[in-house]
Amino acid sequence: MSSRVLSFVSLLLCIFPAIAFALHLPLTLTHFDANDPSRDPYQILSYLASSSLARAHHLKNPQITATATSDATTTTPLFSHSYGGYSISLSFGTPPQILPFVMDTGSDFVWFPCTHRYVCKNCSFSPSSDQNVTIPSFIPKLSSSSRLVGCRNPKCSWVHHTNKTQCDECRNSLTTQNCTQACPPYFLLYGLGTTAGVALSETLNLGDRTVSNFLVGCSIFSSRQPAGIAGFGRGLPSLPTQLKLHKFSYCLISRRFDDSPSSSTLILDSTSDMDRKTNGLIYTPFIKNPIVRGKEAFQVYYYVGLRKITVGGRRVKVPRKFLSPGKNGNGGTIVDSGSTFTFMAREIFEPLAVEFVKQVKNYSRARDVEVLTGLRPCFDVKDMGKPVELPELRLHFKGGAEIALPLENYFTVVGEGVACLTVVTDGDVGGGKAVVGHSGPAIVLGSFQMQNYYVEYDLRNQRLGLKPQLCI
């Protein structure tokens, strides 16, 4: 742990008090400002492609942490952001303090920017700006329910994904049972971004409900993290686990890469019947997560059984070993709301791209745009006299579930009539040579591909439900 982080932790000891349903939430998308002439559409796509690839690298090679209920249904607005995420607002503390959180199904920890001294480097909403921005922070001194988590608290092990005690300073003490050492600081990676801080026990306010002793991270330093993160993954510290949810669901509004106050809805449900299916949804079961020593994050992901991919009705030839996770954790498909564009291992992406190129006869390749955006293949479709026609992309899942993606979910039009496939793979971005490698999931289904789909995570019955729906 760096001396900078440790100095922040020392500072917190002076800031904190002493240690002693269905909910409907808005899900919001905040876009780049279309009126800002500096927002180059090629640059935007290149940034999102780069961040998606960096996210995939993190998910495939995770480094999680480094250290020196009630029956109700709640909904909340869900907003989207130009940096690739969708956010909700959550209220913590006594009295409540409301902050935005990125909804992330690929991680399992909840944290917020914390204290007046919070520092965030390169956290501008613009991909081209290195300027620091002011980000709302939680102020522990203003909350009577804020408590630092002690090293002997079982929730401390949740933070660090280990069953071992975190009381290093007290091991050789004669007063081990009365040890007051705080839980060691955390350091988390999210692809391009990082955050560091300490564990806090706080009250979460959900409408007219309160959840006491909720484990949340108090981050005091971050990089490239424009907001806190609400981890919705399968781990113990995740929001669904701590709330004992039976299911949660959302509908992601369309991305237009412009400024919009629109939002859709995230539903947190702890009242659902055991086997009841939601009308109109097709289901595919979650499959068993691989257990790999040193890659505990794999157990947090939502793996689904993707059986095949078709382009224009033709099956893409994908090596079988990439479709199911092996004992070493390599292969398989996960659903990740924290990724923008879908990632595919090169062995899957190449035959997919070849099939598109083979079937697209009426448009020429726009290779100059491919270089600018890091996306491929791109086609010149600017003949506006006719509607754009490109081959259908269909995903076939275990259990018979299929989704035929709308064209706008896998191609985006950029510049003067150029359509690019919004799937990334190893080393493609900006002509770079970075290789993600074969470790971890072979496919990461990103949020761009899930636009205007109602997505349900049925945790009680271990299945994912899907249906096309206009997300308004």
| pLDDT tens track for 151-201 | 989 999 999 877 766 676 665 554 556 677 899 999 998 877 899 999 999
* Residue 33 falls inside a structural domain: no
pLDDT value of residue 91: 97
Task: Answer yes or no: 258 catalytic.
Answer: no
Q: Are residues 82 and 221 located together in one domain of the fold?
A: yes
Task: Tabulate helix, strand, coil % of the chain (nearest 5).
Answer: 20, 35, 50
Sign of CA dihedral 226, 231, 232, 234: positive
Q: Are residues 47 and 123 in the same domain?
A: no
* pLDDT, tens digit (0-9, with 9 covering 90-100), for 275-285: 788 889 999 99
- What distance in Å separates the CA atoms of residue 335 and residue 333, rounded to the nearest whole number? 7
Stated pTM of the model = 0.87
**Which one is catalytic: 104, 426, 428, 458?**
104
Burial classification of residue 233, based on how many CB atoms lie within 10 Å of its CB (0-12 exposed, 13-18 middle, 19 or more buried)? buried
How many domains does the chain contain in total? Answer: 2
pLDDT at 4: 40
Over the stretch 331-364, which tens digit does the pLDDT of each residue have? Answer: 999 999 989 999 999 999 999 999 999 999 999 9
Known catalytic residue at 336:
yes
Give the per-residue pLDDT at 443. Answer: 96
198 and 218 share a domain? yes
Same structural domain for residues 330 and 426?
yes
Judge whether residue 301 has pLDDT over 70: yes
Beta bridge partners of 119: 221
Is the same domain home to 360 and 403?
Answer: yes
Whether residues 253 and 402 fall in one domain: no
Q: Domain of 147?
A: 73-127+134-161+182-269
What is the per-residue pLDDT for 274? 67
Neighbour-count burial of 179, counting CB atoms closer than 10 A to its CB (0-12 exposed, 13-18 middle, 19+ buried): middle
Identify any residues that bridge with 420 across adjacent strands, giving them in sequence order.
Answer: 378, 412
Q: What is the pLDDT of residue 84?
A: 58
- Tell me, yes or no, whether 399 lies in a domain: yes
CATH of the domain at 368: 2.40.70.10
Q: Give the pLDDT confidence of 58-96 residue by residue, as tens digits.
A: 888 886 554 443 445 677 666 665 555 788 999 999 999
> Which residue did the predictor score with more confidence, 28 or 89?
89
Catalytic residue (one of 269, 336, 428, 458): 336
Backbone angles phi, psi at 390, to 5 degrees: -135, 155
> Is 315 found in the same domain as 241?
no
Please indicate, yes or no, whether residues 311 and 407 belong to a single structural domain of this protein: yes
Lowest mean pLDDT among 9-13, 96-100, 371-375, 402-406: 9-13
Write down which residue in 249, 269, 289 finishes a domain: 269
Among 405, 341, 350, 345, CA closest to 373: 341
**pLDDT tens digits for range 186-244:** 999 887 789 999 999 999 999 888 999 999 999 999 998 889 999 999 999 999 999 99
117 plus 265 within the same structural domain: yes
Among 258-262, 298-302, 384-388, the range scoring the smallest mean pLDDT is 258-262
* pLDDT of residue 260 exceeding 80: no
Of the chain, the percentage scoring pLDDT greater than 90 comes to 55
